[in-house]
Structure 1
Amino acid sequence: MELNRFLPLLIGLLLGAWTLVAAWAVLSARARYQRTENQLRSARRLARMVEESPALPLLVRSDGRIEASPRLAQWLGLDAVPQYLSELDGNGRGLPKNKLDELTEAVRRCQKTAAPFRMVATPEGSTRSLALRGHLADPQVSPGGAALVWIFDFSDSESELNRLREEAARARGDFHALVSLIEAAPMPMWFRRSDGELQLVNSAYVTAVGSSSAEAVVASGTELIETVDGKTPAQVARQALSQGAPVERIVHATIGGQRRALRVSDLPLGEDGIAGYAVDIEDMEEMSRSFRAFREAQRAMLDQLSAGVAQFDAKKRLSFANQPFQRLFRLSSRDMKDPPAFERLLDAARDAGRVPEVRDFPAWRREKAAWFASGDTHEEAWSLADGTHLRIVAQPVPDGGLLLIVEDRTEQLRLSAIRDTLLRTRTATFDSLFESIAVFAPDGRMQLWNRRFAADWGLDSEFLDTHPHVETLLKKIASRLKRPGEAETVGNVVRAATLDRAQKGGRIALADGRILEFAGVPLPDGNGLLAVLDITDSQKAEDALRESNAALIEADAIKTRFLATMSYELRNPLNSIGGYAEMLEHGLGGDLTESGKEYVASILQASAQLGEHIDSLLDLSQSEAGMLPLKKEDIEVMPFLRGVAEERVARLEKAGLSMDLRAEGLLRVVSADRRRLARAIGHIVDNAIAASKSGGRILVQVSRRKIGDSDRIRILVKDQGRGMDGRSLARAMEGMKVSADGRTMERRRGLGLPLARQLIEAHGGTLRLESEPGKGTSAIIELP
């Protein structure tokens, strides 16, 4: 009973236990399933991760069979993964044979010795780069001593590596090129550490400092630049590094024994250091100095020009104006200290009346301001209100500025008007001349002529209006000449005047009987003037005069023969009369009464005077005929004059006059004909006696004068008579002259003075009269 009572309990316990076991089994199975599911999921994830990883495993067993992902077949260009390693090469696909052999050998060695290996391969017909890394597989992976090869696709990495290699190679090349460039640079270059000490220098730096090598320069710290304003080059470099900005300056340094100007730049390169270089700008500085000197010389030269010149810069501001420009536009010194802009200059010029009057001045000003942007030269003429005419030339310059040239043409236009008037006057003057005028150019073509030229040569105006050549003109006038061949002489004269610049002339006879005289004269402008004159009437008069001259020559010959016989024919009777009178005076003809003696004395006096007149007449005639004989001898002047004076003592006493004979200085002898010189001076003294009043005084003064290189004796005969005016003084020296009708001779104040003048001139001396009415007359004789 008790068993039955406990049996349900036992069954219940068994069922409960069974239920618990079943529940535990279910839970345990579910846990295992969950773990299995997690493992499968993890396996699939790992497999997928392997599939997606950049490295694929290749398991090579000891018998040569392989296990790999299908992706490897794609990498190798195969349709599927083969079973054996030796099948990884296909027909033009897979690994190349040499690489496959290398891989097989490496796998075999790895399987035997567990030695890892690495290699790189590129499948055939592909650009994919594969890196193979093999080692012995873990026994858990393959317990049979298999080799596990990991294959990496590093195509992108290889490309990147190639690119980096190329860039590195290019960078190395660029660096070497840069280093070579810096080394070969003609300018000194250097590099400093951050503390300012030199680290690198190029060969130009070494040469500039005169060192042997770059290492020696760096070791000694030789600086190219000197200390300026208390700052060393290292301090300036550290300053550039601290500021983080380049420092540029111009300093002077001694290079190769010469002082050179350098533009030095220090460039900070971050924490690496400071680079520096120096550019030799001595030539630029010299060029700048030369340019400044040239500009100053050019502006000084422009100040000397008559035209005004102004220069405007690219900002349209006046940069220079020479003195004529300042005067033309009335610019003050204050304007030049603060140069105005172009448009403001036009405004000031308008206020000063130095621009033309225009209706719309702002538009006109804008038009002129457009000259700056124009590429062409502009030329204008400005007429100002005060009558001034200006020529304006505006020339744009390449730097954007403007060159303005102003020329005052007022005087030129006035001279042009005067020239036009002169040309018209010249034409009218030419046409009014009695001479024929023609002007020829150097090429032989006629330029100008007057109406008389056309009339003299018988040429029509239509022909002359063509400005014919001289050869054409000669052909035209040849038919009008008496001898046509003489036309060439006219051409020779024209060519001599225009080409040879020589003056020639000639005469030519026309067929109508006229005679023309022509001459070629070179003109200053290079042309030649042909002047032609009709001398027909003068030629006839010349022929008549020539005939008259022949008659006069014949008459002169007759006079000469007459003078040759007059000396004998006149003097013999006169000597006979004088001789007989002297015989009567001495009583050879018997005793004479007192009246007879007076008659004989009168005869002797008259014969003496007649002999004197005959001698004077013969001397005058011979002098005029050029046949006066002189018998020269050395004469002491004072004794000679004293003798002349003593011969006239009786006349002086009779006229109630006195004579004062003086000598000044030391005299010399004179070479002269004593008799004829005494006659000349005696005539002058006689004229002085005749012109003086009673109680007067006659001065005879002799002196010695130096005139140039000649030494002359001067004799002065001065009276106190009534004197003469200029007309009477001129007549006193004439003596005898031809009358107005040309047939007879008339006498002017005797023969004394004319004879004295001719006798003195025959001795090589001069006779000059000075007289004023009421102040007497002075005769001045100068003898060599």
Structure 2
Amino acid sequence: MTGFEEHSGAAPHKAGAFDGLLDLLLPFRRTRKKMEKQHDRLEAFLRAIPIEYCGWDQEGVQAISGGFCSLIGVGMVDSLADIQTGLSPGDAAALEGLYDRLQQYGEHFEIGVHTASGKRALKIFGKRGLIQQSGQIFSVIWAMDITDFAHAAMRGVEAIAAVEKRENELRTNANALPFPIWVRNHRLDITWCNKAYAKVCDDTGASVVAEQKELPMTGASKADLTQRVLAQRAMAKLAPQSMRGHMIVEGQRRLIEITEIPLPQEKRVVGVALDVTKEEEWETSYERLSASHREALEQLRTAIAMFDVDTRLEFYNSAYEQLTGMSGTWLDTKPKMIEIIEKMRELRKLPEQADYKQFKQAWVNKFTSLLEPYEEMQYLPDGSVVRMIVVPRPMGGLLLTLEDVTSRLQLETSYNTLIAVQEETMNNLSEGIAVFGEDGRVRLSNQAFARMWNIPAADMQGAPHIMHLIERTRPYFDPPQWPAMKQAIMANALEREPRKGRIQRNNGTVLEFSIVPLPDGNILNAYFDITDTVKVEQALMEKNAALEEAERLKTDFLANVSYQLRTPLNAIMGFAEMLNQQYFGKLNDRQLEYTSSMIEAGQRLVSLVNDILDLSTIEAGYLKLYPAEVRVRSLIEQVVQLTEEWARKQKLDLIIQCPDDRLTVTADERRMKQVLLNLISNAINYSPNGGRVTISAQRAGDFVLVAVRDTGVGIPAADLERVFTPFEKIHSKKTGRRSGAGLGLALVKSIVQLHGGDVTIESKEGAGTNVICKLPLHQPAAGKVAAPPEKKTV
């Protein structure tokens, strides 16, 4: 046993020695093992490279990596065509041509492609490989997933494009500005300027940047302060720095304010130059005027206006604006005297003039010829009188004062006239109006108020108190009601709280009141007789209740019809079909005929019940549409398939005319099938043998026209107006066929109108009928309607 164990343990060692002996005796074994190890190493390296490969030699022998198929997105690869199925059509065609040249001429290639799903971007290389010993040539396709790189590159390109677009927009906007703008880099060199800057420098923008031209200033706040020094200060202090100096612009000496604005994060400085010449002039003028006159003149109630030597308005106070009626915004534009005269004439604030041109010239002359104050009384077209004084100013120009001196008599006359008009207006109102003061006395009332409460006119004279008037209202209320109504009427006259309400009086009349506190402390009471309105409201409420009851009865009727009529029909038709199918024994020919007639009659009754239910649901407003995009030709073909056997039995041709196969409409497909089925059924039913039914569809603007034309008996002109009325049947004996219940066209029109469309009919007796459904292309999205109801089954 011991020797056997030693022999057994030494067996592997002897086997290895034997293999070694064979390697010595057979050199090709050593070469093969060396090649196998080299092959294993190459396989390991290939698996470590993030690139997949697939290729074929001249004999069609394939070499493919394990992940090539999943990378391309195909199940397996036996040929180049299999690879092409995983790529987009354009990329697949390009790859085919490149691979052919690789195989034929050894031309290497490199191409970027996308998979058919569009989710991956690949980089494909085409290389040729030669096995030296065998001379075997492999044409290999190497594929690398570059989706992430492609997305990143795309985002980078988009970001760069957005930045460039934004920069171009900013440059365009800056070039459109009328004042100079420039940009400096971190070395304070000018890197860009707008057109206004280049124009001031009398050069191009490129030359300004190349030569580093500064604005041609003729003076500054400090002699040694230049734009570049100003920019250095701005960068050092990290705050905008400004200076002012003069510069010749278009032949004029202008005061310019230069500001350098640092942008630390971008390491740049932005400069801007603004013309502040007018600002300087305004500041000087404003300071002089403010110091001497403004505060005092603004407090005066007399209208005052100052004009400079150029006849322009230099100053005006609030009283002047109010008296002349001219807008302060317009006056702030400093118009000339002539313009103000034109404006005042437009506003009828000037006296009527026989020679208006001479009047204007006289005002212009006053600016040069007037040496002493001038006074004039102006009688305006509106009846007011204005006292005007014109005083020449020491520095040139005029000082104008205006004061309204219309007499008190005229004011009193106007007031009395206004009161008379107000009283007459109020007396012609149908509403009763009374205004009570804080003391409860009547300040104002009209005749309707006295008439409404049966108060004598004498009692309304002399500002009576509410306590004297309230007793006059007592007969309109029953004794139990009087205390509360008395308190309410008194509150209306004394309490300053806005409110509304109604008063029911014992004579059957109803008053509506509205209480409005007035700004002057008085209280407005308005009473309206709404008796007729209340009666109409009551009648409407009663009618509404009746309509609601009728609606409830209709709903109950629909439910009863659905259950009480359709449920027995299920049983009748079910048993009839079982008998007809001879499940319980064979039937003779007459019995089969009877059961077939029972099934046919049941189906007609089911169709009638369904039409009645649909029509009633539409009329009740309960039918909901579930629109979706529907291909019109497919819809027509589906309905034609349902009726072609019937048409064939009647020896009729069904023709579809829809030139645009891609024509779509947003509609409820189920309801539109119902519409077409009713129209085609009617056309078949009323067409003689050998006739033709044409179903056409075409787009007309924002609508789709679907028409069903037949060569049947037609409809008399007298019957065309009532064909869409429910249960109206057009009787014709020419076809010899049974007519329906008269609901088809009514249901068709209701469904089409529910889609927002319309139905028209063209027919002539003996010449056929054409029914046209006009449907809008677009309907509300399906998500905006309720979920579809359960399907009706019988």
What is the TM-score of this pair, normalised by structure 2?
A: 0.38
> Larger radius of gyration, structure 1 or 2?
1
